[in-house]
Amino acid sequence: MSNFQVTSNDISTIAAQARKAQSEWALLSYGQRAKHIKKIGPYLGRHVDELVETVHKDNGKLKYDILSTEILSAVMSLSYYISNGKKFMRSTGIGLGCILMFNKISRMVYKPFGVIGIITPWNFPLAIPFSEVVMALLAGNAVILKTASNTVNVGRALAAIFEAADLPKGLFNYVEIKGEEAGRAFIDGGVDKIFFTGSAKTGKELAALAAPRLLPLVLELGGADAAVICADANLDKAAKGIIWAGFSSAGQICGGIQRVLVYKSVYEKFLKKLSILVEKLRVGDDLDSDVGPLVNERQKQKFKEQIDACISGGAKIAAKSQGGDLNDQTLFAPALVLTDVKNSMPVMTEEIFGPVVAVIPVDDAACAISIANDSPYGLSGSVWSANHTRAKKIALQINAGSVMINDHLMSYALAETPWGGFGDSGIGRTHGKIGFQEMLKAQVVVDDILPFSKRSLVWQPYSKKLYKGVRAIVSFLSGPSLFNRIAAVPGVMGIFFRYWKK
């Protein structure tokens, strides 16, 4: 048994200790907190290959996928949040909304929540928890982190990473606890907010558990992304981009491409280009492989069932990678391009965690948008076109938390762009200014600055005169014409001096 394994009962003790450490941590200046977090950079730099190896062993991802989508994004997020967190936490003045309230000055202030619970999945076991823990700590919170049970070695590597920051005892806590117990343990244990990344099913269960406490949650859930290929797109680039976003990490990515919607006029040409590239993909496990294995037998079986359901419904395999067999005992599956799909097939209705894209011809933008939005998910999407104005117009109509033009998925790695979805893809945001501020409670402080005032305009004692005066203010503010506004002035003046009356 490792030191990290805990039971549900332990979580409340850990949370209480974390709260104690947090109360001191939050008193430090941002610079003092950042000084600790900065120590992580050199540690990461010294342990890159070791971290790649650990993720590879835990979930089988190709080493290049790990380096480019986990380690690189972790390093980018570290420097971004260290540099920008102070700005995101700074209290800001709020401009006057109405002249009537000339005596009030308002400010927004941001405070740490206290103890943040973070629960993350196996498919990005390093990058997802890493950036969330960094944001939480810089914002002045304590953290309890639970990673997926099949990637505990990455969890332990994260514990070592944050140990390098020389944090106060009890501030950062990595725990190993079964998923089905973690939600209730975190909620009953007293965390102040939960950041959950995982399936929509678990996210909904967690939200229901959190409801009685009205515990705030950020939920980063599944996706079944669409890519729209316009007639004027650079088809060679689009085909390469679809392959990367559809098949990297063997298609086990929340924001991976599943549905490719291609204008009819270029459908055949695009399909040919895509197929040629897919047939060259090498499925394997070394540095020269393009598509790695699935995470476990259960995932391979599920992928096979989803593909079988599509094929038995009439879908055709238009292209298949080299290597990978759905029916053998290995974890390798072929990268597939499906055509002739129907709306009812799993590739159109469910999230598929495996290397497959369906290519569908569409008449025009309206048709593409309608199919793209015909999904319970709304995580990310893309539009491929040489005309950026047209692409942006289409992008705005796609119901997804982020839409990229002539690229897909990579916005997750941009620490500055908020990430999150609509519908079953979740609530709240991670990354960027909005994501950082999810780690903070927003508070408004309103100050009365009128010298010698004895009361507010609207406080007791009430009277006919006060009613008429406030009525005049309403007429003044909503007056349909300048004449009405001027006519209301005497009434307004009639109560104006109440501020100073005893």
Min. distance of Cβ 375 from ligand NAP in angstroms? 13
Choosing from 22, 77, 123, 382, the residue that interacts with ligand NAP (CB under 6 A) is 123
Q: Out of 87, 178, 269, 454, which residue is the one contacting ligand NAP (CB under 6 A)?
A: 178
Whether 310 sits among the annotated catalytic residues: the reply is: no
Contact 121, 197 (CB under 8 A): yes
The residues, ordered by sequence, that sit 6+ positions from 131 with a Cβ below 8 Å of its Cβ are 73, 74, 77, 78, 81, 415, 430, 431
| DSSP codes joined into one string, 54-93 | HHHHHH---HHHHIIIIIHHHHHHHHHHHHHHHHHHS-EE
From 180, 308, 328, 363, residue interacting with ligand NAP (rule: CB under 6 A)? 180
Residue type at position 314? G
Q: What stretches of 276-393 adopt beta strand conformation (E)? A: 316-320, 336-339, 356-362, 377-378, 380-384
Q: Where does this chain touch ligand NAP (CB under 6 A) — which range of 82-90, 116-124, 156-164, 494-502?
A: 116-124
Please identify which of the residues 220, 230, 351, 438 carries the catalytic annotation. Answer: 220
Report how far residue 380's alpha carbon sits from residue 224's, in angstroms, rounded to the nearest whole number.
Answer: 8
Question: What is the Cα gyration radius of the chain?
Answer: 27
Options 133, 226, 254, 262; binder of ligand NAP; rule CB under 6 A: 254
Q: Per CB under 6 A, does 303 bind ligand NAP? A: no
Residue 276 has, within 13 A of its CA and on its CB side, a CA count of 9
Question: Shortest gap between Cβ of 471 and ligand NAP (angstroms)?
Answer: 52
Both tokens of 12, joined, read 């409340």
Using CB under 6 A, which of 189, 222, 241, 246 touches ligand NAP? 222
Of the candidate spans 197-205, 385-393, 437-445, 487-495, the one that interacts with ligand NAP by CB under 6 A turns out to be 197-205
Which of these segments, 199-207, 330-338, 364-372, 472-480, binds ligand NAP (CB under 6 A)? 199-207
Question: Which candidate, 235, 198, 236, 237, places its Cα nearest to that of 219?
Answer: 198
Which tokens go with 139?
A: 């914002």
Q: Name the active-site residue from 176, 230, 254, 351.
A: 254
Which residue, judged by CB position, is nearest to ligand NAP in the bound state?
A: 179
CB of 123 to ligand NAP, least distance (A): 5
Catalytic, 254? Answer yes
CB of 420 to ligand NAP, least distance (A): 7
Active site residues: 220, 254
Q: Which residues bind ligand NAP (CB under 6 A)?
A: 119-124, 128, 146-149, 178-180, 182-183, 197-199, 202, 205-206, 220-223, 254, 351, 379, 426
